[in-house]
Amino acid sequence: AAAATISFSLLAGNAAAVAAVEQPSEICRGQDDGREVEVKAEAVTNEQLVEEAWEVVNEGFLPDAGSRPWSPELWMQRKQDILQGSIKSRSRAHDIITKMLASLGDPYTRFLSSSDFSKMSKYDMTGIGLNLREIPDDNGSLRLVVLGLILDGPAHSAGVRQGDELLSVNGIDIRGKSAFDVSSMLQGPKETFVTIKVKHDSCGPVESMKVQRQMAARTPIFYRLEKRDNENSSVGYIHIKEFNAVAKKDLVSALKRLQNSGASYFVLDLRDNLGGLVQAGIEIAKLFLNKGDTVIYTTGRDRQVQNTIVADSGPLVTTPVMVLVNNRTASASEIVASALHDNCKAVLVGERTFGKGLIQSVFELHDGSGIVVTVGKYVTPNHKDINGDGIEPDYRRLPDLNEARDYLSRCQSKKLS
């Protein structure tokens, strides 16, 4: 299952590409030749399709996500009621699935037609028109495989095909790296080139390609150095409009420039930031935390959803941080705000946040359609449920630097006691 809410423009146009073919370094067995073999989706009956969607909810749906009572017993009764008679057509099966999911009372759990599912799998995080999926290999490490391609986009025009494995970016071996990290590596200014190496199919040749970027994610980071009234020190003001594939890279650059220019502390403005890529928010939160600090907890019925995410290195900045929030600060923004606040790295200023702390996964059904299901939720390092309640700020108005320092010092003392 792929899980993300992404808002990127799709690519169009041709790419300039230079390709060099290498012979595969390993001998593949089990195929007569190197020709592509088209594998058709297994045929399923209308009843089986409905039951498949029912089973996804039965195994992973988060019960308290919906506005109506849910239990395995009630859900089993729902299936028995639905499957009493035959389902005459595929469109009728889709209607039944749509109504079945709507009965949960969760606005985020919904049906996707095959065309909508296809569009979702082809959102571009890379700037070259492809979407990557992490697949564990036999040794437990990650392989990155092309999940979706923009037709006639840069990667597609260069010869990349769905199912290809990405091996390197600009000569850097990407084995073991996450899809998010590699997507950020692929990003760059429009009309610049990136060199990628891919392996076609599981047993095909390895090919190096020089691909011209046609569209890059716009920077969501805006910053300036300013002085506040009645303060001698300078403050680095940073506004993050959304969390996308270049947010972390551009924030690191902004923090370093502001520090070198004399910033004594930072104001991080997350007002009206509705989220974006959750992983980008997590990586940005880590920039301010000590190694081992908890960023966020994820909980759900499925053990794969239950996780504790921690910072894996020391902070980039150690000066005080004030985070501005309002009632449109949501999702990934709330993860950042709570991580910095609960670890005594920042004071929160403004209004209570929106309260969007649910996790959705996207599942493909056997006929090419799909369903989005709420499977978990985010819980802050202080074990508070973000969803519905939001996060209450420490101050309504921006405190002065000394007041913020005193607050964070008391927070640290309380944390250690």
- Ordered by start, the domain boundaries in the chain are 46-112, 126-213, 221-416
Share of residues in the chain with pLDDT > 90 (%): 63
**DSSP three-state, residue 87:** coil
Least confident of 60-64, 228-232, 379-383: 228-232
Residue that wins the pLDDT comparison between 47 and 33: 47
Q: Is the pLDDT of residue 41 over 60?
A: no
Query: What confidence score (pLDDT) does residue 84 get?
Result: 92
Which residues are catalytically annotated? 331, 356
Topology, domain 126-213 = Pdz3 Domain (2.30.42)
Give the mean pLDDT of the chain. 86
Q: How far is CA 70 from CA 66, 78, 79, 235, 362, in A?
A: 8, 11, 13, 50, 20
What's 395's DSSP letter? B
CATH number belonging to domain 221-416? 3.90.226.10
Query: What confidence score (pLDDT) does residue 335 get?
Result: 97
Query: What confidence score (pLDDT) does residue 40 get?
Result: 40
Q: Is the pLDDT of residue 95 over 90?
A: yes
Measured CA to CA, the distance from residue 258 to residue 255 in angstroms comes to 5
Measured CA to CA, the distance from residue 356 to residue 147 in angstroms comes to 27
Residue that wins the pLDDT comparison between 325 and 216: 325
Checking DSSP bridges between strand 142-149 and strand 206-212, what pairing results, if any? unpaired
Q: Is the pLDDT of residue 21 over 70?
A: no
**DSSP three-state, residue 55:** helix
pLDDT tier, 42 (very low <50, low <70, confident <90, very high otherwise)? low
Q: Is the pLDDT of residue 216 over 80?
A: no
| Tokens linked to 29 | 């067995």
pLDDT tier, 15 (very low <50, low <70, confident <90, very high otherwise)? very low
Query: What confidence score (pLDDT) does residue 31 get?
Result: 38
Query: What confidence score (pLDDT) does residue 142 get?
Result: 81
Q: Is the pLDDT of residue 273 over 70?
A: yes
pLDDT tier, 123 (very low <50, low <70, confident <90, very high otherwise)? low
Fold agreement between 126-213 and 221-416: no
Q: Is the pLDDT of residue 51 over 70?
A: yes
